């Protein structure tokens, strides 16, 4: 079995027809598979299906969920970075970027989504002493996301 066939078979097993259509319209389909875009699109479509009564939008770097009656949105930041050893080391850059967004008060609630694996299976809430000292209300979590 060729490598390209096994890759396409795996993609077709994990993603729906809209994801494959998006992938096939890419001009460099045979040379490049952008895993970040596929992962983000997969999460966006899944969140839309699971929350039909919420306003969900796909922005430049995040997926924004606005619940009915809740003025504060939840921002999901998908990352196709695999947590190999320790979460605090492997996700350091993403956490620092999220803290900067929280500090600038762009948003109050951020979930950083990573692919789930044997080293990363549980939600991890992050407490930031710097933000606590400023008295900001915030939520920052690292979330393992399963792709089926």
Q: How much is the pTM?
A: 0.73
Q: How many CB atoms lie within 10 A of CB 84?
A: 12
Beta bridge partners of 74: 65, 109
**Cβ contacts of 121 within 8 Å, gap of 6 or more:** 144
Note the pLDDT tens digit of each residue in 81-122: 888 878 778 888 999 999 999 988 888 999 999 888 888 888
pLDDT at residue number 22: 67
The full 3-state SS of 41-103, as one line of letters, equals: HHHHHHHHHHCCCCEEEECCCCEEEECCCCCCCEEEEECCCCCCCCHHHHCHHHHHHHHHHHH
Helix axes 17-24, 35-50, angle to 10 degrees: 150
The upper half-sphere exposure of residue 100, i.e. CA atoms within 13 Å in the direction of its Cβ, equals 6
Per-residue model confidence (pLDDT) at position 140: 93
pLDDT in tens, the chain (148 residues): 444 445 555 665 666 666 666 666 666 554 456 677 878 888 888 999 988 888 898 888 889 988 776 778 899 999 888 888 787 788 889 999 999 999 888 889 999 998 888 888 889 999 999 989 888 889 999 999 887 6
The predicted structure's pLDDT at residue 19 = 67
pLDDT at 81: 82
Q: Which pLDDT belongs to residue 26?
A: 63
Q: What is the pLDDT of residue 79?
A: 86
């Amino acid at each position: 079995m060729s490598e390209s066939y096994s890759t396409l078979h795996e993609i077709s097993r994990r993603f729906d027809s809209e994801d494959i259509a998006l992938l096939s319209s890419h001009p460099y389909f045979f040379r490049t598979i952008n895993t970040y875009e596929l992962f983000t699109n997969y999460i966006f479509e899944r969140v839309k299906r699971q929350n039909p009564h919420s306003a969900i939008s796909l922005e430049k770097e995040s997926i924004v969920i606005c619940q009915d009656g809740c003025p504060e949105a939840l921002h999901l930041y998908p990352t196709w970075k695999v947590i190999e050893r320790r979460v605090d080391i492997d996700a350091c850059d993403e956490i620092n970027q999220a803290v900067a967004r929280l500090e600038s008060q762009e948003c109050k609630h951020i979930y950083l989504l990573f692919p789930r694996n044997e080293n990363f299976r549980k939600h991890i809430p992050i407490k930031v002493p710097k933000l606590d000292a400023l008295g900001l209300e915030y939520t920052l979590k690292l979330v393992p996301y399963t792709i089926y």
